Amino acid sequence: MMLKIKRVPTVVSNYQKEDAGDSARPVGGCGRNCLKPCCIPDAKLPLYAFKKVNKVVVGKDSGLRECGEPPVAFLDSLVLGEWEDRMQRGLFRYDVTACETKVIPGEYGFIAQLNEGRHLKKRPTEFRVDKVLQPFDENKFNFTKVGQEEVLFQFEASDDGEVQFFPNAPIDVDNSPSFVAINVSPIEYGHVLLIPRIFERYPQRIDRESFLLALHMAAEADNPYFRLGYNSLGAFATINHLHFQAYYLAVPFPIEKAPTKKIANLNGGVKMSELLKYPVRGLVFEDGDTLEDLSNVVSDACICLQTNNIPFNVLISDCGKQVFLLPQCYAEKQALGEVDAELLDTQVNPAVWEISGHMVLKRKKDYDEASEANAWRLLAEVSLSEERFQEVNDLVFEAIGCAELDANAQKLQKVDAASSSAHPSVMAAGSQECVVQQ
C-alpha cells in the first residue's frame, strides 16, 4: 500500500547553511534575520491564541468532541498553509514530499519511508549521549539562531478564553512566547516544532508547564492524524533546546493499535496502562478529569526519568487524550557495542517516530526489504529488559503517587516476557542494565 502525499518542488534553504553569506537575507541586525537581540527588536510574527479547554474525557461534559474524522480547523489550515508557504520559499534541506512511503504488510502496519536526504543533511548531534540532563550551551546550535522566516506563528493561551488570531503581532521577549516553527529536516508533510518559552533557553527537559502546552496544541488541533513527539537527550534528541515535534500522518501508528493492560488508576482520573505485544515496553496514560491532570501525571513521570538519567521518548496521541511514555536504551547499547552490526548498518536512530512505528529508512536496500519482522527486530533492541522496565515502573509509581493500584498490577510484574510479545524470538531478553550511568 502506497501512501499518497502532496508533492511540491523545493530547494535547499540558504538560511540553513552555516557558511552561507548574506545573499537573500534581509538587511538589518546580524543579517541573518534571527531570533537573537540583534534582529528581534520591533519584529512581528503571527500569533495564534488558543482557548484553554481543560476537560479531556469524552462523555464527561468535556467541551471537546470525540477525536474522529479530522474537521476543517483553523489551526490545521494555519499550520499546513504556513508550512506550504515555507516549502515554496525553499526553506527546507530537502524535499520530503519526494520521499517514497509505504505501509508494511503485517498485523501492525508499520510505515516505512525512504528518506536519504535526512541522513545526509540533518544537523549533527553536538552533545554527549550518556546524560539526559545537560546545561544549555549558547555556543551550540539553538532555536534562537533560526531565521524568523522559519517561524510559522507564536502559540499562546488567549486572554479572554476564546481562540484568536493576530497576523502581525509584536514579539514580547520579556514574557518569552512559545513558537511553532518548521523542522527544516522534515520526516513528513507539515512537520513542525513547538518551542516553549523560546527566549528562556531551556535545555531539552520536560517540565509541567511546557508539557501542558504540548497537550493544548494537540487538543487545539483536534485532529487524530496530528501527533506530537518528544525525544530526551540519550534518546536521539539532536538539539539541546527544549522542543517538541509534530506532524500529520493519515494512518494509525502501530503503537496506537497495540493492546494495553491497565495497571493503575491515578489522581485526577488518569488511567495508567502497560503496552502489550509490542517490541518496545512502555507506559500509556489516558483520560483524566482535566487536561492539566493528565499533563501533571505524565510530566511528573518524565521528570522522574530525567532525574534518574533514564532516556525516554513520548508520543502524544488522540488529540491529547493519550500519551505513550517509552524509556529506552538503544544509544547506551550502541555505545557498549551490544547492537548487532547489521542493525547498525541501517543507520536508523530509533527516536519517537520510529518507536511509534513510522520507520524512517536511509538506504534503498532497507526500504525495499522492509518487513514487520525487520521493524520488530530493530525496535526490540530499543526496549528495556523486563526486569529493568519493572524497576523503572517502580520509580514512576513513587514519583506520581498512585491513587489506586490495579489488582492486576502485581500479576503483570510476573508475566513472562513471551506474553507481552507477539514475536518473542526477537525481543530483548535477560536483565541487561540499560540505564545510562552518570
Report d(CA 352, CA 354) in Å as an integer.
6
Q: What is the DSSP letter of 71?
A: P
Question: Residue 114's pLDDT is what?
Answer: 95
Flag whether pLDDT at 200 surpasses 80: yes
The mean per-residue pLDDT over the stretch 164-173 comes to 92
> What is the average per-residue pLDDT within 5-30?
43
104-118 pLDDT, tens digit per residue, is 999 999 999 999 865
Strand 358-361 relative to strand 111-114: parallel, antiparallel, unpaired? parallel
What is the identity of the amino acid at 101?
Answer: T
Domain membership of residue 247 (yes or no) is yes
Rg (CA), the chain: 21
DSSP secondary structure of 33-48: --SSTTT-TT-EEEEE
Active site residue 191: no
**Angle of the 208-221 helix axis to the 291-307 helix axis, nearest 10:** 130
In this predicted structure, what is the pLDDT of residue 20?
40
**105 burial level (CB within 10 Å; 0-12, 13-18, 19+):** exposed
Where helices occur in 181-227 by DSSP H, the ranges are 208-221
Tell the residue number behind the cell numbers 557558511, with chain if given. Answer: 19
- The C-alpha atoms of residue 381 and residue 398 are separated, in whole angstroms, by 27
Q: Beta-carbon neighbour count of residue 162 at 10 Å? A: 10
207 pLDDT exceeds 80?
yes
Residue 239's beta-bridge partner residues? Answer: none
pLDDT tens-place string over residues 25-61: 445 678 788 888 889 888 999 999 998 766 554 434 3
In a domain, 23, yes or no: no
96 backbone dihedrals φ, ψ, rounded to 5°: -70, -25
- DSSP letter string over 185-245? S-SSTT-EEEETTGGG---S---HHHHHHHHHHHHHHT-TTEEEEEE-TTTT---SS--EE
| pLDDT tier for residue 222 given thresholds of 50, 70 and 90 | confident
Domain assignment present for 127:
yes
Q: What are the tens digits of pLDDT across the range 273-305?
A: 999 999 999 999 999 999 999 999 999 999 999
DSSP class of 205: -
Phi, psi of 307 (to 5 degrees): -60, -35
- Global confidence as pTM: 0.85
pLDDT given for residue 67 in this prediction: 63
38 assigned to some structural domain: no
Which structural domain range is residue 302 located in?
Answer: 44-426
Q: Evaluate whether 246 touches 213 at the Cβ level (below 8 Å).
A: no
Q: Who has greater pLDDT, 142 or 51? A: 142
- Are the CB atoms for 131 and 234 separated by under 8 Å? yes
Report the percent of the chain where pLDDT is more than 70.
78
What is the reported pLDDT for 270? 94
Least confident of 180-189, 230-239, 290-299, 403-412: 403-412
Residue with more model confidence, 91 or 403: 91
In angstroms, the CA 383 to CA 389 distance is 8
**Neighbouring residues of 78: CB distance < 8 A, sequence distance ≥ 6:** 46, 48, 152, 153, 165
Is 8 within a domain? no
Neighbours of 352 (CB within 10 A): 27
Of residues 385, 345, 334, 420, the one with CA closest to residue 125: 334
Sign of the alpha-carbon torsion through 206, 207, 210, 214: positive
Alpha carbons within 13 A on the beta-carbon side of 132:
25
Residue 167 belongs to a domain with what CATH number? Answer: 3.30.428.70
pLDDT band at 183 (very low <50, low <70, confident <90, very high): very high
Which range among 10-24, 235-249, 298-312 shows the weakest confidence by mean pLDDT?
10-24
- What's the length of the chain? 438
Give the least confident one: 18-32, 84-98, 102-116, 362-376. Answer: 18-32
Half-sphere CA count of 109, side-chain side, radius 13 A: 12
Alpha-carbon distance of 12 to 116, in angstroms, equals 14
Catalytic residue among 216, 243, 358, 423: 243
Of 62 and 232, the one with more pLDDT: 232
Listed residue (193, 207, 208, 224) closest to 64, CA to CA = 224
Cell of 234: 540519550
Q: What is the pLDDT of residue 101?
A: 94
Query: SS3 for 361?
Result: strand
- In this prediction, what percent of the chain has a pLDDT beyond 90? 63
Instruction: Please state the rounded mean pLDDT for residues 358-371.
Output: 95
Residues 279 and 428 sit within 8 Å (Cβ to Cβ): no
Q: To 5 degrees, how large is the angle CA 393–CA 208–CA 293?
A: 75
Lowest mean pLDDT, pick from 349-353, 407-411, 434-438: 434-438
Q: For residue 197, give the C-alpha cell.
A: 518559552
pLDDT at 332 over 60: yes
In a domain, residue 61? The reply is yes
Domain count, the chain: 1
pLDDT value of residue 66: 54
Q: What is the pLDDT of residue 117?
A: 63
- Does a structural domain hold residue 82? yes
Quick check: is 282 in a domain?
Answer: yes
